[in-house]
């Protein structure tokens, strides 16, 4: 038996030696394993898609939470940025408070207040950035970190910031400056100071162009030493909304990629499966034709084209499963007279010609519902339903006369030929074997009567 592997679908082509009368076409192609593989592949593909979507969602959540773990961005604006620094004190306007640099690049200075103190004393440091447009936008930063060193007996110090908003300018820059003041205890001055930027509201949306530090009145008499060591602004490296939007876009794009890839794979799989099914359909059609051909060969006589015993048995099994004949079912056994003499006189090839011509004549004188069988050797059987004895005799006589008058030639030599016919008409519920036996006895009588004649079986024959 030859096996063809067709896309996981096993196709069996039977050999000619296989008895195809018992062949069931449904066993020729076994695609159950292939269909199961298709189902498993589709299911596994969906599982992979669900896993990818789940993983992308988990990663997106992790990325959102990672925002809070990102290290802060630190920018030290003093010292470092381009600036100008100067001291301001009321002694410049006739007051009694004076200021002097100890180390200007280090923002280290002293303020000296004498008694009596004026009504509005002031003394401090102002640091101006070179241009308003180059100021520091710290709206994206969460807090300011600075360190001030102070030695003196004043109660409080003050940190000042001035902002410039170009959108609000009217040409007079002084009118566009907005101020913010933060008062701190002098006892906290030598500690690290952290000022939360988020509470300043719209003030932080501009550009800081001025940072100052001074003594909060009333100024205690004596010498006050101050130094602004550094100013840093701290904030996240990315805006929260930008980070979340980026994570959402990446999550969406990755999911679209996974879904699109899955759909493309499914489309490719469908195309491949369609091609496989088309191929299998071609195999199926070819195999059906082969099966019909082999069934025909197994059920027919190759020389005469008539049914053989196997084909007749299959047909009878479908017509009479119980093996019982209905009344008016006629069986004829037709035997070629002196067929051995023909073989001996003209040769076996001539005998084959005689068999073919005889079968052709009998077939031409039968009805569509009749079954014509080569029983063996020179013996033929004609099975006729709904045929009474008179009709059977007319059919048999027509066949006998046609064969007797036939001009059968072999190598330009005419071969005379006759047949003897036995007829049996079934009784109600008679089984086939009994009917065949009675018909065979009628044929035996015809031969004993000199051949080339017809004998109808007596229903009393056993």
* Residues 20, 4: Cα–Cα separation, whole Å: 19
Helix and strand totals (H; E) in the chain: 7, 23
Run of H or E including 381:
strand 379-384
Could you tell me whether strands 324-325 and 454-456 are parallel, antiparallel, or unpaired per DSSP bridges?
unpaired
Question: Which residues lie across from 225 on neighbouring strands?
Answer: 110, 151
Question: Could you give the CA distance from residue 373 to residue 91 in angstroms, rounded to a whole number?
Answer: 142
* Most distant pair of Cα atoms in the chain: their distance: 173
Residue 23 φ then ψ, to 5°:
-80, 130
What are the strands of the beta sheet with 419-425, ordered from one edge?
371-376, 379-384, 330-336, 419-425, 454-456
Q: Is 84 a known active-site residue?
A: no
Contacts of 209 (CB under 8 A, 6+ apart): 128, 129, 132, 135, 162, 163, 164, 177
* Closest by Cα among 211, 206, 210, 213 to 189: 213
Strand pairing report for 454-456 and 419-425: parallel
ω into 116 cis (within 30 of 0): yes
Q: d(Cα 419, Cα 453) in Å, to the nearest integer? A: 7
Residue (of 388, 392, 355) closest to 374 by Cα position: 355
Do 420 and 320 form a contact (C-beta atoms < 8 A)?
no
* Residue whose structure tokens are 């063809």: 4
Tell the residue number behind the tokens 């009567």, with chain if given: 449
Tell me the chain's radius of gyration from C-alpha atoms: 59
Select which of 84, 133, 290, 378 is catalytic. Answer: 378
Which two tokens mark 35? 């269909």
Alpha carbon distance 325, 41 (integer Å): 56
Structure tokens at 22: 């018992």
* Residue pointed to by tokens 């002098």: 186
Q: Are 231 and 182 in contact (CB under 8 A)?
A: no
Whether residue 439 contacts residue 392, with contact meaning beta carbons closer than 8 Å, is answered with no
Residues acting as catalytic residues? 378
């Amino acid at each position: 038996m030859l096996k063809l592997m067709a896309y996981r679908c096993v196709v069996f082509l039977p050999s000619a030696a296989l008895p195809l009368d018992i062949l069931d076409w449904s066993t020729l192609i076994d695609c159950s394993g292939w269909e199961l593989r298709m189902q498993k592949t589709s299911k596994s593909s969906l599982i992979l898609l669900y896993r990818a979507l789940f993983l992308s969602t988990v990663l997106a959540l992790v990325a959102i939470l990672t925002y809070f773990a990102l290290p802060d961005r630190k920018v030290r604006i003093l010292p470092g940025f381009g600036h100008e620094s100067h001291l301001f004190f009321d002694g410049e306007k006739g007051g009694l408070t004076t200021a002097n640099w100890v180390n200007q690049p280090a923002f280290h200075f002293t303020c000296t207040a004498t008694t009596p103190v004026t009504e509005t004393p002031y003394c401090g440091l102002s640091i101006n950035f070179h241009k308003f447009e180059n100021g520091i936008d710290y709206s994206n930063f969460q807090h300011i970190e600075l360190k001030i060193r102070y030695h003196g007996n004043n109660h409080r110090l003050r940190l000042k910031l001035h902002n410039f908003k170009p959108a609000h300018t009217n040409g007079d820059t002084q009118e566009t400056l907005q101020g913010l003041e933060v008062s701190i205890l002098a006892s906290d001055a030598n500690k690290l100071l952290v000022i939360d930027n988020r509470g300043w509201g719209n003030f932080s949306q501009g550009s800081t162009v001025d940072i100052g530090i001074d003594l909060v009145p009333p100024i205690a008499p004596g010498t006050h030493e101050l130094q602004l060591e550094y100013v840093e602004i701290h904030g996240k490296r990315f805006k929260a909304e930008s980070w979340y939007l980026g994570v959402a876009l990446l999550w969406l794009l990755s999911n679209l990629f996974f879904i699109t890839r899955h759909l493309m794979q499914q489309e490719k799989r469908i195309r491949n499966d369609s091609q496989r099914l088309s191929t299998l359909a071609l195999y199926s059609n070819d195999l059906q034709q082969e099966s019909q051909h082999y069934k025909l060969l197994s059920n027919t006589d190759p020389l005469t084209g008539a049914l053989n015993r196997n084909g007749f048995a299959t047909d009878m099994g479908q017509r009479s499963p119980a093996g019982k004949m209905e009344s008016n079912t006629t069986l004829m056994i037709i035997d070629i007279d002196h067929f051995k003499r023909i073989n001996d006189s003209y040769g076996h090839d001539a005998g084959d010609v005689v068999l073919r011509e005889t079968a052709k004549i009998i077939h031409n004188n039968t009805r569509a519902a009749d079954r014509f069988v080569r029983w063996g050797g020179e013996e033929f059987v004609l099975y006729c339903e709904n045929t009474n004895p008179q009709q059977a005799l007319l059919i048999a006589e027509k066949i006998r006369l046609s064969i007797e008058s036939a001009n059968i030639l072999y190598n330009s030599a005419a071969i005379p030929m006759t047949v003897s016919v036995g007829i049996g008409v079934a009784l109600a519920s008679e089984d086939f074997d009994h009917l065949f036996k009675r018909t065979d006895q009628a044929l035996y009588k015809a031969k004993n009567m000199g051949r080339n004649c017809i004998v109808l079986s007596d229903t009393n024959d056993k």
